[in-house]
A and B are shown apart, each in its own frame.
Chain A
Amino acid sequence: MTTATVPLTSTASVRTPWTEFWRKFKRQHAAVIAGVFVLLLVTLAILAPWIVPYDAENFFDYDSLNARPSWKHWFGVDPLGRDILSRLLMGARISLTAGFVSVAVGAIVGTVLGLVAGYREGWWDRIIMRLCDVLFAFPGILLAIGIVAILGGGMINVIIAVAIFSIPTFARLVRGNTLSLKHLTYVEAARSVGASDWTIVMRHIFPGTIAAVVVYFSLRIGTSIITAASLSFIGLGAQPPTPEWGAMLNEARSDMMTSPHVAIFPSLAIFFTVLAFNLLGDGLRDALDPKIDRR
């Protein structure tokens, strides 16, 4: 590990991984649009408390209950008189935080487990993979429901549940990559010059797994937002009057006949957000590594 990286002098002609990635990524218009949409959404979510037209939980416009979209209320009013646009904007904070935090925790824990399992093999591998098998044995949302049943409802517990639900996916992915990377010549070269296990894993193997992790990260955020919203929808996550999108849909169910717009806007919010993360993930996959499995 004595060789420092050679400083690159020329700029235009050199293809660094970044320029190479950008060259491939920007060709995918759907993914670029999705990326811009995600950035816009994140900005709106951060600014939400200052830009919402009305208070999302405590403003009640009793003169326009169930009102359809208008200039005064762009997305209409719900049966309690609350402004739907304001609630959606505040809800974006909850859904995006839930999706991002849970996947980040799942990805970090899963990546560490995957690196250990793949690099060490033997007992570590067997124990970690058995653990993943067990987590995978509870189909879909069932694991999250079980965890929420133990911890109790509420958004924090939903995030924990969805994070645990994401761990095995990342662990398996990183383990597979680690197994194939560690027998490559450059890793053996590093080992033969006496690099420690820590150096080999962190400098030579981990960077090779990042591309796949980034792709799954984006795709998983979509899944996690849906899972978190589903838990709130069935009454185990965020509780009314919290403007979480799934909880809003649950509240809208009873008034579906008279005021469908109360349900339509939260549905579209979830759909476009998840769609954006999925398109972004597809684009990242095609730009970073076309061989990564399609899920």
Chain B
Amino acid sequence: MLQYIVRRLLGLIPTLLIVAVLVFMFVHLLPGDPARLAAGPDATPATVALVRQDLGLDKPLPEQFIRFATGVLRGDFGRSLRTKRPVSTEIAERFMPTMWLTVAAMAWSVLIGMAIGTLSAVWRNRWPDRVGMTLAVSGISFPAFALGMLLMQIFAVQLNWLPTVGADTWRHYILPSVTLGAAVAAIMARFTRSSFVEILQDDYIRTARAKGLPETVVVVKHGLRNALIPVVTMMGLQFGFLLGGSIVVEVVFNWPGMGRLLIDAVDMRDYPVIQGLVLLFSVEFILINLIVDVLYAVINPTIRYR
């Protein structure tokens, strides 16, 4: 098991390295001179030269990359061009609201999605299946930003049950996490259903039924456990979807998280913040996938020896 984890960790290094190079190159791919960008539009040539020297932009690219990479490893992403504060501080303030939003969305969507998927599989081609799958295909087709606006209009503006924007209390989390999780719940429902339908046709399910077990025991004990194995891997992928999706949802609900920060930074061309956030989002995603793969190996031993 340990060997498997170590092997997977080593396998991540090239990917992480390429991601870091891409994020580093980002500044140089932007149109225009990064030093001028950092110095601001009204800076004199002398100031620009000074900024260039200060940020090390006059050094050869490999040297700049090493400087960037060692900085990142120490948690130093440079300073925001807009607020002049360290990027790490900017991001740290915004980290938890996004984290909790994603976790809340993940929790409800996985539970509801798996429940709908299971019910649909058990009552395949009957009305619970039709209702469940209609909901699911609608869920993946409704864009999050439109759903967010609609929910806000109904529950916050018309009915006045829930707050519109901000992230102060748990009530603030309801609408954004429902918006963010809807598509994931839909995907989980579809995936669980197809996984379950396949399992329910297996021989051991027939055996369990043949020996006279009640249908509930067959479904829960023999079916659910095995159907969940592929569903676990799916969860990892969906977490990435949530991280990406949170960017749009945070814009709708004016959420004080990393997604909102990213869009503001893109608007302001505040590239150190963009770099820091893009790197953080992707590293988070890569690590979550690693954890999911390890969990998968715990559930299913055959993976480890492949």
A80 interfacial contact with B, CB 8 Å: no
A139 — which chain B residues lie within 8 A by C-beta?
Answer: 239-241, 243-244, 281-282, 285
Q: Give chain A residues whose Cβ lies under 8 Å from the Cβ of B144.
A: 230
- A25 cross-chain contacts in B, Cβ below 8 A: none
Contact, CB under 8 Å: B244 / A278 = no
C-beta contact mask, B225-252 vs A, less than 8 Å → 1, else 0? 0000000000000011101110110010
A contact residues vs B (CB 8 Å cutoff): 130, 133-134, 136-142, 145-146, 148-150, 152, 222, 226, 229-230, 233-236, 246, 249, 252-253, 256-257, 260, 263-264, 266-267, 270-271, 274-275, 278-279, 282, 294-295
Question: Chain B 104-134, CB within 8 Å of chain A: the 1/0 string?
Answer: 0000000000000000000000000000000
B47: Cβ under 8 A from any A Cβ? no
Query: How many Å lie between the Cα of A278 and that of B140 in the bound state?
Result: 8
In contact, A137 and B149 (Cβ under 8 angstroms): no
Nearest residue (CB) in A for B251 is: A234
Q: Is the CB of A229 within 8 A of B143?
A: yes
Q: Is the CB of A149 within 8 A of B274?
A: yes
B245 touches A140 (CB 8 A): yes
Known: A142-B278, A294-B190. 5 other contacts (CB 8 A): A141-B244, A145-B262, A145-B263, A149-B266, A234-B247
Q: Which of chain B's residues has its CB closest to A223's CB?
A: B140
Q: Nearest Cβ distance between residue B288 and chain A, in whole angstroms?
A: 9
Inter-chain contacts of B240 with A (CB < 8 A): 136, 139-140
> Interface majority SS on B: helix, strand, loop or mixed?
helix
Q: Do most interface residues of chain A lie in helix, strand or loop, or is the interface mixed?
A: helix
Separation of A139 and B267 alpha carbons in the complex (Å): 20
Our pick among A130, A233, A236, A260 for the contact of B266 (Cβ within 8 Å) is: A236
Q: Is the CB of B140 within 8 A of A222?
A: yes
**Which one of A150, A256, A271 has the highest number of Cβ atoms from chain B below 10 Å of its Cβ?**
A150
In the assembled complex, how far is the CB of residue B153 from the closest CB belonging to chain A, in whole angstroms? Answer: 6
Query: Which residue of the partner chain, among B22, B137, B286, contacts A282 with CB atoms under 8 Å?
Result: B137
* B-side contacts of A146, CB under 8 Å: 26, 274, 278
Given contacts A130-B14, A139-B240, A274-B141, contact A267 B281 (CB under 8 A): no
Q: Are B15 and A145 in contact (CB under 8 A)?
A: no
User: Can you report 22 A-B residue pairs in the complex whose CB atoms are below 8 A from each other?
Assistant: A137-B286, A138-B278, A138-B281, A140-B240, A142-B247, A145-B262, A145-B263, A145-B266, A146-B274, A150-B29, A230-B143, A235-B263, A235-B267, A260-B153, A267-B142, A267-B146, A267-B150, A270-B146, A274-B140, A274-B142, A278-B140, A295-B191
> Complex formed: what's the CA distance from A226 to B241 in Å?
13
Contacts of A264 in B (CB 8 A): 150
**Residues from chain A with Cβ under 8 Å of B274 in the complex:** 146, 149
Chain B residues with Cβ below 8 Å from A253 are 149
Specify which of A137, A141, A233, A246 lies most central, judged by the most chain B CB atoms within 10 Å of its CB.
A137
Question: Counting CB contacts under 8 A, is B187 at the interface?
Answer: yes
CA distance A249 to B144 in the complex (A): 12
